[in-house]
């Protein structure tokens, strides 16, 4: 689990203002929020893909388009880079194969 165990997924979604499901208008700010939440490990890459019905390619497009907009967190520190998304997907793929 990439997010702290004391925070539920619903708390993480509320904290980042993420949509509850994929049935929303995907504005640029919503896409950036999802990318930021994954980069900051509030939700896992796998959770974002399942919850919002995203293909890996679609999420990568969001990262290219919106990661610069969310590259800095509120505390001024750089957000995690794309390696988190790659590692999360590799772990999810391994779990599915097992």
**pLDDT tens digits for range 66-92:** 877 655 444 433 344 444 444 555 555
CB 4 within 8 A of CB 36: no
Whether the pLDDT of residue 48 is over 70: the answer is yes
CA distance linking residue 4 with residue 52, whole number of Å: 21
Residue 4 lies in a domain: no
10-19 mean pLDDT: 82
Give the per-residue pLDDT at 98.
Answer: 57
CB 40 within 8 A of CB 72: no
Q: Cβ of 41: how many Cβ atoms within 10 Å?
A: 17
2-28 mean pLDDT: 79
Residue 1 lies in a domain: no
Residue 81 lies in a domain: yes
Residue 15 lies in a domain: yes
Whether the pLDDT of residue 17 is over 90: the answer is no
Q: pTM to 2 decimals?
A: 0.62
- Looking at the structure of the chain, the number of domains it has is 1
Residue 42 lies in a domain: yes
Tokens 């700010």 correspond to 29
Query: Does residue 59 or residue 93 have the better pLDDT?
Result: 59
Residue 90 lies in a domain: yes
Give the per-residue pLDDT at 5.
Answer: 63
Residue 80 lies in a domain: yes
11-26 mean pLDDT: 84
The residue segments making up the domain with residue 33 are 9-97
Q: Helix (H, G, I), strand (E, B), or coil: what is residue 17? A: coil
CA-wise closest residue to 43 among 7, 85, 3: 3
CATH number at residue 60: 1.10.10.10
* Model confidence band, residue 8 (pLDDT cutoffs 50, 70, 90): confident
């Amino acid at each position: 689990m990439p997010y702290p165990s004391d925070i539920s997924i619903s708390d993480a979604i509320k904290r980042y203002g993420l949509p509850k499901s994929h049935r929303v208008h995907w504005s640029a700010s919503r896409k950036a929020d999802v990318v930021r939440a994954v980069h900051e490990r509030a939700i896992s890459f796998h959770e974002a893909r399942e919850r919002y019905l995203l293909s890996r390619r679609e999420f990568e497009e969001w990262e290219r388009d919106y990661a610069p907009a969310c590259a800095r967190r509120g505390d001024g520190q750089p957000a995690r880079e794309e390696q988190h998304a790659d590692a999360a997907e590799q772990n999810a793929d391994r779990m599915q194969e097992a």
